[in-house]
Amino acid sequence: MLAAAGIVVLGVTAQWLAWRLHLPAILLLLVTGIIAGPLTGLLDPDRVFGPFLHPAIALSVAIILFEGGLSLNLRELPVIGRDLYSLVTIGTAATWVLITVAAHSILGLQFQIATLLGAILVVTGPTVIGPLLRHIRPIEHVASLLRWEGIVIDPIGAVLAVLVFEVIQARYFGDALAAIGLSLFRTISIGAIIGMACAWGLSLMMKRYWIPDFLQSPVTLMTALGAFVFSNFFQSESGLLTVTVMGVSLANQRDVPIRQIKEFKENLRVLLISSIFIVLAAQISMEDMKRLGWEHLVFIVVLIVLVRPIAVYLSTIRSGMRWNERAYLALLAPRGIVAAAVSTIFASRLSAGGFPEAEIIAPIAFFVIIATVGFYSMLAHPLALMLKVAKADQQGVLIVGAHDWARAIAKAIRQQGILVKIIDSNWKEVTKARQAGISAHLGNILSEDIKDEMDLEGIGRIMALTSNDKVNSLAVLNFMELFGKTEVYQLDLQGDEKTYHEPISENLRGRILFKEGMSHTAISIRFAQGASIKITRLTPQFTYADYLALHGEAAVALFLINDAGKLTVFTHDNKPSPRPGHVLISLTEPLSREKEIPKGEQAEIDGQAPQPAPPRRGSAQASGAK
């Protein structure tokens, strides 16, 4: 019991530390598993789980692939379809052949065993690619291509391993061809039919309200696991294709919403990935680690330096992709959980069938997983920045609402060199934003397709500033998956909402902007009375205390930009401390004639280029905006 609970504790703790330290989570998971397993001996998965270990891993992989299928959007295929097809056909074939040659020549494996190892290691996998993409956030074309490849290639690799296994077991060439043809036909047909049938049946039952809301996620999980096992019963390793097809089909139907199913599966995926990688790393024995020689290191280097770049080059010769995008694809191919699970299954089958050399397949696969995950986890982000397929700091702001003071806020933020985009369904307001030089998109923030329609590269947070509290809450909910709970913001509730209605639940809204009472109505009234957005650079001569003394309690601090250019948002639960050198963006009332404008204060944003205020006799000279 202690070991089983310890797996979850270690896995989730590693995930949290990775988030705090801004490191790839999988790297910490593997290191934690190795420390808990072979180095200290505190965790022995075989002893903890016994005969249930491999079935548990297989079912977990099925859930992860199903969740990955739910994230695939068929509308992306017209853009990436040609490149994806080349990667999973030409790229897979090239990878298989090159790994087979490398395993045979460098590791000295029998040709049959080397061929099976090559088939197993063609996969990448969503367990690794997904977390890396969330950490890196590369440009949309590269992200979509890597996400699709990582999910689609897993069932392809498993099927390829099955076909190679059938050939190895066949005694004659004719028997081998017949076995390949039959296995391929059964795998594709069973996977497609069962996967689409289960997705159609689920959507039909939910559409007719035969499944209550609180049971939709459990029933979906039950169906996915049942479909996986049912498919494998008729054809070995066809279950991975089945759950992938089921996930893609369910995600792209339009009859019923599946948001809560996606959220449930995402939470479950995080828990499963945390536990599985701890278990896999802990499963490696000291004897296996001692068997790692220089030839295995050379083999891994060849996989990273030669095999993947050659496969991507051959796949994208006639592609319209830019050279930096192709280079990044060539430099990112970590192996994941599917390689570990499939290698363990076929190694045991071949060993029992008279191929003792097959016992080495699983240890090699584990070493490849650890090495590639470690290598790509450390270098994926720096390489993305170097090749300019990702931005260094995703701190751009998406503002929902293009009315007058939302435009003023956007302009003030943009003047500090921070990316800002506005979205609104009102054409007149969008036109005014564009005329003010602000990037604005005409569309509905609640549309299912809005994330695909908008270019969100460089955007890391959303602020809902509309006059409708419920639209604001729905908008941040729609983007919570993309930006996370910490970077979705909305205005405080209107006065009548607080007085006459139950407030919106905290888990159904974002972080509340600015200070108490700053609703859309309150800010609009202030603007109508002459308030404006002001940019102030604090100095040792003009501190935040001086600013408060000048503007009084009526001033509302909105944003703070530190010396490094990082934007921090003032919210009910976060009140940053402005210091000299910081830039403060605030909502202020007009100054009275008796108050002079101290040096260092910035001019108001009013849609015109700010001009320096004329000097007054006996007072400090006002300075214009930077």
CA quadruple 192, 194, 197, 198: dihedral positive or negative?
Answer: negative
pLDDT of residue 391: 66
Shared domain check, 491 and 365? no
Question: What is the number of alpha carbons within 13 Å of residue 155 lying toward its C-beta?
Answer: 31
User: Of 364, 386, 408, which residue constitutes the final position of a domain?
Assistant: 386
Weakest-pLDDT range from 123-127, 317-321, 396-400, 413-417: 123-127
Residue 377 has pLDDT above 50, yes or no: yes
Verify that 363 and 426 share a domain, yes or no: no
**Range list of H helices, 38-139:** 45-49, 53-70, 77-86, 92-106, 111-120, 126-136
The answer to whether the CB of 242 falls within 8 A of the CB of 188 is no
Q: State the average pLDDT over residues 64-87.
A: 84
Buried b (16+ CB within 10 A) or exposed e, 377-391: beebbebbeebebbb
Query: Do 493 and 353 fall into the same domain?
Result: no
Let me know if residue 150 belongs to a domain. yes
Residue 98 pLDDT class (50, 70, 90 cuts): very high
Answer yes or no: do 377 and 460 share one domain.
no
CA atoms within 13 A on the CB side of 481: 13
Confidence at residue 56, expressed as pLDDT on a 0 to 100 scale? 86
Same domain, 402 and 326: no
CATH number at residue 375: 1.20.1530
- Structural tokens at position 393: 């700091």
- Cα angle 405-415-475, degrees, rounded to a multiple of 5: 50
pLDDT at residue 617 in the model: 38
| Parent domain of 106 | 56-255+288-386
Choosing from 327, 352, 386, the residue where a domain stops is 386
Number of domains in the chain: 2
Domain boundary among 386, 419, 445: 386
Q: Span 265-271, mean pLDDT?
A: 79
Residue type at 434 in one-letter notation: R
503 within domain boundaries: yes
357 has a pLDDT exceeding 60: yes
The pLDDT assigned to 493 comes to: 81
> What pLDDT score does 437 carry?
87
Rounded distance, CA 186 to CA 489, Å?
Answer: 50
pLDDT tens for 456-492 read 777 888 999 988 888 888 888 888 877 878 888 998 8
Same domain, 334 and 410: no
Model confidence at 196: pLDDT above 90:
yes
Pairing mode, strands 532-537 and 511-512: unpaired
Q: Give 297 or 597, the one with higher predicted confidence.
A: 297
| pLDDT tier at 311, thresholds 50, 70, 90 | very high
Exposed/middle/buried for residue 589 (C-beta within 10 Å: 0-12, 13-18, 19+)? middle
Range 404-413 average pLDDT = 90
- Is residue 260 in some structural domain? no
pLDDT value of position 483: 80
Chain-centroid distance of CA 25 in Å reads 12
Please tell me whether residues 440 and 310 are part of one structural domain. no
Flag whether pLDDT at 218 surpasses 70. Answer: yes
Cα diameter, the chain:
103
pLDDT at 178: 67
What is the DSSP code (8-state) at residue 153?
Answer: H
Confidence at 623, pLDDT banded by 50, 70, 90: very low
% helix, strand, coil for the chain, step of 5 = 60, 10, 30
Provide the pLDDT for residue 507.
60
Residue 14 lies in a domain: no
Q: What is the CATH number of the domain that holds 485?
A: 3.40.50.720
In a domain, 237, yes or no: yes
**395 or 13, which is more confident:** 13
Residue 201, pLDDT score = 93
- Looking at the chain, the whole-number percentage of residues with pLDDT higher than 90 is 13
**pLDDT mean over 520-549:** 87
Q: Are residues 485 and 419 located together in one domain of the fold?
A: yes
Residues 330 and 417 in one domain: no
Mean pLDDT of 537-541: 87
Please report whether residue 380 resides in a domain.
Answer: yes
Does residue 408 share a domain with residue 313? no
Residues 418 and 355 in one domain: no
298 and 410 in a single domain? The answer is no
Q: Is the pLDDT of residue 514 over 90?
A: no
Q: Does residue 27 belong to any structural domain of this protein? A: no
pLDDT tens digits, one per residue of 46-55: 888 888 888 8
For residue 503, name the pLDDT band (cuts at 50, 70, 90): low
Tell me the pLDDT of the chain averaged across its residues.
81
What integer pLDDT is reported at residue 449 of this predicted model? 66
618 domain-assigned? no
Query: What pTM did the predictor assign?
Result: 0.70
> Residue 508: what pLDDT?
65
pLDDT at 389 exceeding the cut of 60: yes
